[in-house]
Copies of this chain bind each other. A is one copy, B any other.
Amino acid sequence: MENLYEKTLSKEQIYSGKIIDLYIEEVELPNKKKGKREIVKHPGAVAVLAVTDEGKMLMVEQFRKPLEKTIIEIPAGKLEKGEDPLLCAKRELLEETGFSCEAMESIGSFYTSPGFADELIHLYFTDSLVKEGEQMTDEDEFLNVLEVSVDEAKEMMSTQKIHDAKTAYSVMYMELARALKK
């Protein structure tokens, strides 16, 4: 098997921000030639597939500035420095929807864009929701909470109201669970 490693020859920080940092690295490619890599550093994120007693998925409608539009996603947020992903998932669920839960389990962690970013998203599942109160979002965060059935979610995917990878994965997770139960 070919050695695929790329050694860093030099590294320049272009930007250090509130959420992301940007670096340019000059690398030695496997054929010993030089290449350039543009790399976004991200603290990582969590997302929660939260299912109500009626079998509906909790979702949030949010304006996403990079897309210049509103889309519907499962509750999610970025990790604070050093924060445990499970605790972060419970915090984000409570802040964005007003629900806590009795139990929450990991259903996988995925790099979202390994070509240019190190963002790792930790995905959790819960179906033991407890309504605590209203949403308590960050001061720069505005969203509407929805309860969506699997079939409604599939319809929203076809009209691109649901249009992001973590939510599409979660909808398919629910479909697979339903198919395996039959």
Contact = CB atoms under 8 A, between A and B. Distances in A.
Contacts of A66: 37, 39-41, 114-118
Interface of A: 1-2, 4-6, 14-15, 17-20, 22, 24-25, 27, 29-31, 33, 35-42, 45, 61-67, 70-71, 73, 76, 78, 108-119, 121, 139-140, 142-144, 157, 160, 163-166, 168-169, 172-173, 175-176, 179-180
A70 B6 CA distance: 10
A73 B38 contact: no
Contacts of A64: 111, 114-115
A65 B40 contact: no
Given A110-B165, A117-B117, A164-B114, A4 B142 contact: yes
Contact of A65 (B33, B39, B76): B39
A113 B114 contact: no
The 3 closest A-B pairs by CB, nearest first: A179-B179, A4-B63, A35-B140
A111 B20 contact: no
A42 B112 CA distance: 13
Given A22-B22, A66-B40, A165-B165, A113 B113 contact: yes
A116 B143 CA distance: 17
A111 B66 CA distance: 10
B143 A45 contact: no
